[in-house]
Amino acid sequence: MAIQRLIQSVRPLTWAVSIALLTPLIMGGAPAMAQKAQATSKVKPTSNFENFSPAETGKRGAPSRRFGGGSRVGNSGVNGSRIQNVCAAGPQAIAMISPASNVTVTTSAQPSLMLWVNESKYERDLEFVLREGPQGNGEDVYRKMLKLSDKSGLVTLDMSELEDAPSLTKGEDYYIYLSLVCDANDRSKDMVVEGQLSAVEFEQWVAQQPQRTVANEKLDTLAPFFQIEQSIEVGLWHDAMVQLNRLRQKGSSSTIRRQAQQRWQALLEADDELYVIADETKTVIEPLAISDVQELELF
């Protein structure tokens, strides 16, 4: 009986101690759980278009600079004062639509280059520079200055429509710079995207791709969406995106345009960087004017 009374007297104390010990853990865990839930809500959306892979190519090695939010002279980043300049109304001013490897492989001798620009308070200049070599350390091949509006959206630079634009030599590597000129008197403030551009022969390129299959016919003889699937299958992501961009704007029916937009959206959302502007590229804007650039220092 004495032992039973001892147990009964100790039990409330045990419960009190347990509650005292567990309470801070429970209360301390609540912020952690909330923090985890908040982090989870920021996870990149996944693509529902399962047959399409993230942007990849068979080439590697170019630096990843598909977003331009800083300057080419190595500023610490975009700050409040930079956001108020002519280039952008937000932290990101410009993005290049290129594969995750940042190596744009194309079968076109005069490819279309695509970029997204953020809105601005003013019209702005965009400089397009093409150089020889895979790292941009060769001779200049071409320079062109374009005038852009203050709108946000996708801009397409079709080299076949640019005056005096050269044809790329198949099998050669080039490097492209796309620079938003924030201050014409201080080019160090430019916001720049850059990456490798490689022109290839279709048959030779396909033959080099391991464990990939493609129809025997030329891609341009295939149905549009099957052609796009085949282009991605053999690592021609850029060519597929160019075709999708054309179809979503100028497809022969509303159904084709809608399907092209869905596939375009899915491919951008599957990319670890470009997904943040997937919705923003629905708007397409045209350059206001194109002018030659004679003596303009890149650096």
pLDDT of residue 27: 42
pLDDT class of 203 with cuts at 50, 70, 90? confident
Average confidence (pLDDT) over 214-224:
62
Residue 56, pLDDT above cutoff 80: no
Lowest model confidence (mean pLDDT) among 44-48, 80-84, 100-104, 220-224: 80-84
* Phi, psi of 244, deg, nearest 5: -65, -40
pLDDT of residue 45: 35
Lowest model confidence (mean pLDDT) among 61-65, 102-106, 125-129: 61-65
pLDDT of residue 273: 87
Domain boundaries in the chain?
67-291
Output the six-digit token pair for 100.
């995750």
pLDDT of residue 81: 26
* Percent of the chain whose pLDDT exceeds 90: 38
Lowest model confidence (mean pLDDT) among 105-119, 215-229, 236-250: 215-229
The span from the first CA to the last CA of the chain, in angstroms, equals: 93
pLDDT of residue 98: 93
pLDDT class of 1 with cuts at 50, 70, 90? very low
Residue 246, pLDDT above cutoff 80: yes
Residue 70 near residue 46 (C-beta atoms within 8 A): no
Lowest model confidence (mean pLDDT) among 31-35, 66-70, 94-98, 164-168: 31-35
What does the pLDDT look like over 138-163, one tens digit per residue?
A: 899 999 999 999 899 999 999 999 98
* Percent of the chain whose pLDDT exceeds 70: 63
pLDDT of residue 4: 46
Residue 42 CB neighbour total at 10 angstroms: 6
pLDDT class of 37 with cuts at 50, 70, 90? very low
What does the pLDDT look like over 258-286, one tens digit per residue?
A: 999 999 999 999 998 899 899 999 999 98
Q: Tell the CATH topology of 67-291.
A: Immunoglobulin-like (2.60.40)
pLDDT of residue 127: 93
